[in-house]
A = this chain, B = another copy of it.
Amino acid sequence: MSDLAPAPFGRRRLRVSDRRTEGPYVVLTAPDADGPPPRAGQFYMLAAVEGWGAGEDERPFLPRAFSVLHAGPAGLEFMLEDVGPGTSRLCGLAVGDQLWVLGPLGQGFTPPPVGARALLCGGGVGVAPLALWQDELERSQTPVSVVLGFRDAPHAQGAALLRAAQVATDDGSVGHHGLVTTLLDAELDADTAAVVYACGPPAMLEAVRERCLARGVPTQLALESGMACGYGACYGCVVPLAAGGYARVCVDGPVFAGELLPAGALLAAHGESA
5 nearest A-B residue pairs (beta carbon): A54-B54, A53-B54, A51-B54, A51-B51, A53-B53
Please give, as numbers and ranges, the residues of chain B lying within 8 Å of A52 by CB-CB distance. 54
Nearest-neighbour CB distance to chain B for A100, whole angstroms, equals 13
User: Of all chain B residues, which has the CB nearest A59?
Assistant: B53
Residues in B with CB closer than 8 Å to A50 are: 51, 54
Q: Is A191 an interface residue (CB 8 A)?
A: no
Q: How far in angstroms is the closest Cβ of chain B from A212?
A: 43
CA of A54 to CA of B100, assembled, Å: 14
Say if the beta carbon of A34 comes within 8 Å of chain B. Answer: no
- CB of A3 closer than 8 Å to a CB of B: no
Interface: A58 (CB within 8 A): yes
A53 contacts which chain B residues (CB < 8 A)? 53-54, 58
Q: Which residues of B contact A51 (CB under 8 A)?
A: 50-51, 54
Q: Report the minimum CB–CB distance from A62 to chain B (whole Å).
A: 12
